């Protein structure tokens, strides 16, 4: 049986927010033996992305970039847990995704080949009552998965503004319990 290793990337700008709560609810249902690694992108801040693709190229990543690349490549499943900020992903999440462009060129990383076949998932909390406003976030992740030949697992949405609100979104809690199955 193939072991799966989930990497949860927390992209909120606060601790204990609704997105993380929802992601942890979903993760509780993962089968025993499934690997789980949780990284808060605020603990591994990345520099602003510099596009060197058509200049001198991208060097091998160092520091937090190298750590995030290693964690990403080690996972079979990458879960982007970003709150909905201005209808899309948070800044830390977007910067992480921008760095994928550098990793595509990083010597020895073989990023495109190694990302293909992994599954990309999204988890997000939003204050708006209309889940359709999260479509830009869902599209960003869905299209990014397709670009890299990844499977798209879908996005788990929950409603909330204050931390803890999402637990009162009973439909989201129900969806969380089967999201990864």
Is residue 102 a contact point for ligand FMN (CB under 6 A)?
no
**Between 20 and 77, CB nearer to ligand FMN:** 20
User: Which of the ranges 35-43, 50-58, 102-110, 155-163 carries the binding residues for ligand FMN, by CB under 6 A?
Assistant: 155-163
Q: Under 8 Å CB-to-CB from 137, ≥6 apart: which residues?
A: 82, 84, 87, 88, 89, 122, 124, 155
For 83, the 3-state DSSP assignment is coil
178 binds ligand FMN (CB under 6 A): no
Which range touches ligand FMN (CB under 6 A), out of 14-22, 28-36, 100-108, 113-121? 14-22
- The least distance separating ligand FMN from the CB of residue 55, rounded to whole angstroms, comes to 32
List the structure tokens of 179: 């999201």
Cα atoms in the 13 Å half-sphere on the side-chain side of 93: 26
How far, in Å, CA of 157 to CA of 175, rounded? Answer: 9
Among the residue ranges 50-58, 65-73, 109-117, 120-128, the one whose residues contact ligand FMN (CB under 6 A)? 120-128
Task: Compute φ and ψ for 173, nearest 5 degrees.
Answer: -60, -40
CB of residue 171 to ligand FMN, shortest distance in Å: 16
Is residue 61 part of the contact set for ligand FMN (CB under 6 A)?
A: no
């Amino acid at each position: 049986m193939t072991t799966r290793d989930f990497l949860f990337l927390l992209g909120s700008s606060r601790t204990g927010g609704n997105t993380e709560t929802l992601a942890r609810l979903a993760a509780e249902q993962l089968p025993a033996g499934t690997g789980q690694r949780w990284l808060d992108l605020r603990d591994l801040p990345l520099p602003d992305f510099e596009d060197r693709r058509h200049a001198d190229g991208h060097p091998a990543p160092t520091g937090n970039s190298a750590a995030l690349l290693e964690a990403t490549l080690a996972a079979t499943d990458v879960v982007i847990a970003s709150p909905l900020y201005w209808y899309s992903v948070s800044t830390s999440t977007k910067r992480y995704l921008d760095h994928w462009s550098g990793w595509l060129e990083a010597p020895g990383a073989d990023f495109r080949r190694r990302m293909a076949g992994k599954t990309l998932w999204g988890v997000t909390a939003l204050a708006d009552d209309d889940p359709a406003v999260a479509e830009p976030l869902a599209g960003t992740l869905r299209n990014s998965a397709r670009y890299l030949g990844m499977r798209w697992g879908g996005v788990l949405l929950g409603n909330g503004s204050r931390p803890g609100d999402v637990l009162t979104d009973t439909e989201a809690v129900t969806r969380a319990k089967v999201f990864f199955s």
